[in-house]
């Protein structure tokens, strides 16, 4: 086979693709905010829900009375269009020869490339969801870190319940704000259950009646010299579809629309076969489908 033909040959690696598809990093939380919906077309329609989608209806029926008819859930259809994202790493055959286990080395590269794609998506989402301009006035509370208490969060929860008729089921809470809550006197008392002390996050869940509390750890380097937190000192309350099999017609703050079979790992060769390139490709977009199903609490010093 000529070196030119070898350079042009692209091969999907099923083993590495499976690793990429099954790999998740606890460092990123975008998929906990936007459940993934697998799609077969790069372009399609998705529903955007208003407050009516969260309303609970009366279902009691008296004898011989008419059934409780309701209007169809109010939503509009908008267009999504996925976008391809890829990143690759070149591996010289001399490096391969030095690796103790080349298969494990390539698996490590696969996970690193997967993380690189996830980091970019996480940055976009974090910037959008922490921008106060993206919220209505009744979806915002501003406080200071010194004044932050459990009651401030409870007020936000009740405000969101007033907005959509449902309590949030997910909270994004930064590490520094978690420490503030822990240091506040009697803010989060220990809870004993059959002689066991519940973890502090479980205690917070019980106090706030929340199903999920996520503490983000993702960091990035904007200039290659220092690291910054992707998620700032804010608290984000959300209503997220928590069904086992997510469906874009379930009211939820948002979804990731991802092409079926993605992410994918393929390999090709350069320099006459001396350099093997491992490439990770994903194809997706993320959309907010229920803008009212969020509440942001911002803090400042």
What proportion of the chain, given as a percentage, has pLDDT over 90?
54
Model confidence pLDDT, tens digit, residues 251-273: 899 999 999 999 999 999 988 88
Determine the Cα–Cα distance for residues 205 and 196; give it in Å rounded to an integer: 17
Burial 102-130 (b: 16+ CB within 10 A, else e): eeeebbebbeebbbebbbebbeebbeebb
36, pLDDT greater than 90: yes
| pLDDT confidence band for 222 (50 / 70 / 90) | confident
The reported pLDDT for the residue numbered 28 is 92
Instruction: Collapse the DSSP code of 204 into the 3-class scheme (helix H, G, I; strand E, B; otherwise coil) and give the result.
Output: helix
pTM: 0.85
Average pLDDT, stretch 35-42? 96
Question: Looking at the domain assignment, is residue 66 inside a domain?
Answer: no
The reported pLDDT for the residue numbered 228 is 83
Q: Which residue has the tokens 């939820």?
A: 252
Question: Looking at the domain assignment, is residue 132 inside a domain?
Answer: yes
Candidates 218, 195, 194, 213; CA nearest to 203 is: 213
Instruction: Report residue 128: phi and psi, to 5°.
Output: -70, -45
Compute the half-sphere exposure of residue 257: CA atoms within 13 Å on the CB side of its CA: 22
| pLDDT confidence band for 6 (50 / 70 / 90) | very low
Question: Looking at the domain assignment, is residue 286 inside a domain?
Answer: yes
Q: Is there a contact between 257 and 222 (Cβ–Cβ < 8 Å)?
A: no
236 - beta bridge partners? Answer: 172, 296
Domain span at 280: 3-55+75-300
Candidates 157, 123, 117; CA nearest to 139 is: 157
Strands 234-238 and 228-229 turn out to be unpaired
Average pLDDT, stretch 70-99? 82
Model confidence pLDDT, tens digit, residues 39-70: 999 999 999 987 665 655 566 666 766 675 55
Written as six digits, the tokens of 94 are 């001399």
75, pLDDT greater than 80: no
Question: Looking at the domain assignment, is residue 85 inside a domain?
Answer: yes
Question: Looking at the domain assignment, is residue 67 inside a domain?
Answer: no
Question: Looking at the domain assignment, is residue 278 inside a domain?
Answer: yes
191, pLDDT greater than 70: no
Determine the Cα–Cα distance for residues 144 and 299; give it in Å rounded to an integer: 5
Question: Looking at the domain assignment, is residue 139 inside a domain?
Answer: yes
| pLDDT confidence band for 145 (50 / 70 / 90) | confident
Between 10 and 53, the more confident residue is 10
- What's the CATH code of the domain at 152? 3.90.1690.10
Determine the Cα–Cα distance for residues 273 and 16; give it in Å rounded to an integer: 20
First-residue to last-residue Cα distance in the chain: 65
Written as six digits, the tokens of 252 are 């939820």
The reported pLDDT for the residue numbered 155 is 95
2, pLDDT greater than 70: no
292, pLDDT greater than 60: yes
Question: Looking at the domain assignment, is residue 226 inside a domain?
Answer: yes
Structurally, how many domains does the chain consist of? 1
């Amino acid at each position: 086979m000529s070196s030119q033909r070898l350079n042009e040959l692209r091969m999907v690696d099923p083993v590495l693709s499976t690793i990429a598809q099954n790999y998740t990093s606890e460092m990123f939380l975008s998929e906990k905010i936007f459940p993934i919906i697998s799609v077969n077309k790069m372009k399609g329609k998705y529903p955007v829900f208003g407050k009516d989608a969260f309303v609970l209806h009366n279902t009691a029926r008296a004898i011989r009375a008419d059934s409780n008819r309701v209007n169809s859930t109010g939503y509009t259809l908008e267009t999504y269009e996925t976008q391809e994202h890829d990143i690759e790493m070149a591996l010289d055959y001399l490096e391969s020869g030095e690796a103790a286990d080349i298969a494990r080395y390539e698996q490590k590269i696969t996970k690193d490339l997967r993380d690189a794609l996830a980091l970019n998506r996480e940055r976009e989402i974090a910037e959008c969801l922490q921008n106060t301009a993206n919220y209505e006035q009744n979806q915002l509370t501003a406080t200071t870190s010194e004044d932050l208490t459990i009651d401030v969060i409870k007020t936000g929860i009740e405000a969101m319940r007033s907005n959509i008729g449902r309590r949030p089921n997910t909270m994004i809470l930064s590490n520094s704000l978690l420490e503030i809550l822990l240091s506040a006197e009697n803010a989060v008392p220990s809870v004993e259950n059959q002689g066991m002390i519940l973890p502090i996050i479980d205690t917070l869940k019980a106090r706030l009646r929340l199903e999920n509390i996520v503490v983000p750890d993702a960091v990035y380097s904007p200039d290659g010299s220092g690291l910054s937190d992707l998620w700032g000192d804010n608290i984000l309350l959300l209503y997220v579809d928590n069904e086992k099999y997510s469906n874009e017609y379930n009211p939820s703050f948002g979804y990731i629309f991802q092409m079926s079979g993605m992410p994918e790992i393929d390999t090709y060769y350069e320099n006459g076969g001396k350099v093997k390139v491992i490439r990770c490709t994903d194809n997706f977009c993320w959309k907010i489908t229920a803008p009212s199903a969020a509440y942001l609490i911002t803090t400042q010093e």
